[in-house]
Amino acid sequence: MATITLHKKDILINFGVVKLDGVDITDYIEKPTHSYFVSIGVYVFKPEVLKYIPDGRLDFPDLIKILIKNREKVGGYIFDDYWLDIGIPEDYMKANKDLEKIYDKQFLSQE
């Protein structure tokens, strides 16, 4: 019924993390990294999905939750090439610089 494009993202916690059982520390992990698959905002839907969209506005994440709740098939496509969210100016600038390097390498290798 739907497919979401995903990218593996590693999140570094810059602190020592503890696990608690009440007040007793049961584990201590120094600066762990957690890996998650994140949605990169590319969705593919079958036309039948339209029956789940109410009148008015509905965001894609809300639609995905409705589909899951109704036991419709929602799959993930893992995109493991270069991807960077450009929602903040610093990341937008980084993406521009990264793409210049990528394209320079491609064009230089063709000469």
Residue 111 confidence (pLDDT)? 55
pLDDT by position in tens, the chain (length 111): 999 999 999 999 999 999 999 999 999 999 999 999 999 999 999 999 999 998 888 999 999 999 999 999 999 999 999 899 999 999 999 998 998 888 776 665 555
Residue 108 confidence (pLDDT)? 53
Contact between 53 and 63 (Cβ < 8 Å): yes
Q: What is the 3-state secondary structure (H, E, C) of 55-105?
A: CCCCCHHHHHHHHHHCCCCEEEEECCCCCCCCCCHHHHHHHHHHHHHHHHH
Residue 39 confidence (pLDDT)? 96
Task: Give the whole-angstrom CA distance, residue 64 versus residue 2.
Answer: 8
